[in-house]
Structure 1
Amino acid sequence: MSFTLSAPDLADAAFAARFHDVADASAHTDGYRPFNEQAMLDARSGRRSPQLLLEGEDAVGALILGQGEIDLVVHPRYRRKGHATAALRRLFEDEGGMSGDLTAWAHGDHPAARALADRFGFSAERTLLQLERPLSDADAATSPVLPAGIGIVSFRPADAAEWVRLNALVFATHPEQGAITESDLAARMAEPWFDADDLLLARENSTAAAPGRILGYNWLKIEPGATLGEIYVLGVHPDAAGAGLGRALMLAGLARLRERGCTAVELYVEAESTTPVRLYRSLGFGDRTVDVQYHRGPR
């Protein structure tokens, strides 16, 4: 058993095809993607290294490594044969192996992932809920009630710097979302799913001539050809908290998704974020699956 080192680069078409074959087969079997969006962006940009786990010529698993993070999935055809255990032993125990603070996501909170985490000294650190609900024509007909002096407008490229500052403020304690830079935003804007009209901004005293501060946003994501939309990220400025702006932005987002032909919507939220979770459940969202991030301290 070995890792490919000859072409750990998703720009290589042959390598990428094999990597995505493992990921797609896993998603089909498990009902959720084995790598989240940030991991894939890191892999494509070169910030982290995508690799294949091989047994002979067969790709039995895929990994994304680097920056103290591990993402690992085994192809459904090759599970329960010790491949994940062997891969982690090599990562941690071989000379020059990974050490220091390490994190690993278990998407779907798979029992096998929990067992591996325990075996290699990882403990659960974060729980991410994936919630969903159907959409109907009634969602498209709903008109959100906005606080006085606030209007909802579409994102413009000139809004990038202000949006990044607000996002950093809203998610100051969030390890991924709060760290988004203008370059990260530009990378997402270059994705095929991005549509500026799907990034809804709540502006204070908004007029065409003199737009006011951005006080909130609801960024929607619809993959090309998909009927499942996503509340990609929702944020409200602390100055506007408690005024109903989050609910208004959610209702505007649901209407936009339905107008664009979506029949269902999903979102991700930290389990301990009680206020957002309460809002989403009040709007009819129910549980779909759970992701758990594991952590292991320096060894």
Structure 2
Amino acid sequence: MIKYEWRTELDPQEAAELADMLARAATYDAEPEYSTIDFDNVQAALDSRDRQVKHLLIWMLPYATAMAAPDEPERIAALLRLEIGEDGAAKAHLVVDPRFRSIGITTLFVEQVGLDTGAPDGWLGTGARSITAWARGNHPATGRLSNRFLIPRTRRIWKLIRACTPHLVAGSPVLEPVDPASVNHLEWTRSLIATDGIYALRLGGCVSGLVALDFAPRTSEEFGACATATELLSAPGADPADLRRLLDGAAAIAHERGLTGLIVHVDSGDSRLVNACRLVGFQHDRTDVCYQIGDHS
């Protein structure tokens, strides 16, 4: 039914077929926001001979569709991309052709190769000692795969959205735009990744919280064009109300930019942030689930 092979290069026909499959899958999966792989990233890794990025092609072998009809030709059915760190911790991304979903392509592959990361050269000779994969939108097929092969779910991230309409943001705290360099003397800000679009909540002259905002609109059927809070940080010991003020202030800024919603991604285990979001009107939109095989310490 299938064959598979690690590839370090693609011939022109394979490249065209793979690019088409990934593009169709991205379009098909756009609404539920499932995971995607960009073909340009695949080609760039192959061209640079990046040894830390590996690509496995899975083909659907020729198959019959009707009696007396010619067999369908061999086709690329899926792509697995592994990004492997020097420590053997790998991130996996898998995309299956929409035409071949729900027929057991991934299940059959896992049945054939197994999930043993304890071999001397790691999983399937890749050097991977542990592998994590995110199922964006809690893809139902990943849940079935996890249940069948006992793959642990290790994290859940909730995508939450709230409205930024005038009556909801009226009276919100005013946040101050800041340069990261102006706050990097604070120990708790050193995990900040963003370099622009950063706003601070000041109380009593002290910074009690930071939010990084991305104003590239993300469309929500219910909330319209949304900004995204890509990072949220609060000072150690800050009052829970300060976190709510930070979120309200971020929503007000999004409204000032002409956007009608605000998105935030929250670890479901972060009860403090989850509760703050709940109290300022955020609603659940999507759950992303992380799966892991192997032990990475």
What TM-score does the superposition give when structure 2 sets the normalisation length? 0.68
2:106 to 67, 84, 88: 84
SS at 1:68's partner residue? strand
Which one of 175, 179, 185 corresponds to residue 156 of structure 1?
Answer: 179
Which of the pair has the greater relative contact order for Cα pairs under 8 Å at 6+ separation? 1
1:277 lines up with 2:274 in the alignment:
yes
* 1:1-299 equivalent positions in 2, closer than 5 A: 1-3=3-5, 5-7=7-9, 17-18=19-20, 21=23, 24-28=26-30, 31-34=32-35, 49=53, 51=55, 53-55=57-59, 58-65=75-82, 66=84, 67-88=89-110, 89-90=112-113, 92=115, 95-96=124-125, 100-144=129-173, 152-156=175-179, 158-159=181-182, 161-162=184-185, 165-167=187-189, 185=193, 189=195, 196=196, 198-203=197-202, 214-223=207-216, 227-239=225-237, 241-242=238-239, 244-298=241-295
Measure how far apart 1:87 and its partner are.
Answer: 4.2
Q: 1:50 to 1:200 in 2, by over 3 A?
A: farther
- In structure 2, the CA distance between the partners of 1:137 and 1:23, relative to structure 1 (3 Å rule), is farther
Q: Write the distance in 2 (CA, Å) between the matches of 1:92 and 1:33.
A: 23
Runs of at least 5 residues in structure 2 that lack an aligned partner in the other structure: 61-73, 117-122, 220-224
* Aligned-residue offset at 1:97: 5.2
In proportion to residue count, which structure has more helix?
A: 1
**1:256-277 deviations in Å (ceiling 9; x for gaps):** 1112122222221111211211
| Farther off after superposition, 69-78 or 18-27 | 18-27
Contact 2:134–2:288, Cα closer than 8 Å, also in 1: yes
Q: Could you tell me whether the CA contact under 8 Å between 2:251 and 2:261 is conserved in 1?
A: no
Aligned residues: 252
Query: Percent of aligned pairs with the same residue?
Result: 25
**TM-score in terms of structure 1 length:** 0.68
Query: What is the CA distance between 1:99 and its match in structure 2?
Result: 5.4
Measure how far apart 1:98 and its partner are: 6.2
Q: Which structure would you say has the larger Rg?
A: 2
CA distance in 2 between counterparts of 1:19 and 1:52 reads: 14
Contact 1:19/1:51 (CA < 8 Å) preserved in 2? Answer: no
Q: CA 1:85–1:224 in structure 2 vs 1: closer, same or farther (change >3 Å)?
A: same
Aligned partner of residue 276 in structure 2, secondary structure: helix
DSSP-derived class of the 2:30 partner: helix
Whole-Å separation in 1 of the counterparts to 2:100 and 2:155: 28
Q: C-alpha displacement at 1:49, in angstroms?
A: 2.7
Q: Deviations over 1:111-151 (max 9, x none)?
A: 21112123333112222212112321224533328xxxxxx
Q: 1:95 to 1:134 in 2, by over 3 A?
A: closer
Identify if the C-alpha distance between structure 1 residues 292 and 249 changes in structure 2 by more than 3 Å, giving closer, same or farther. Answer: same
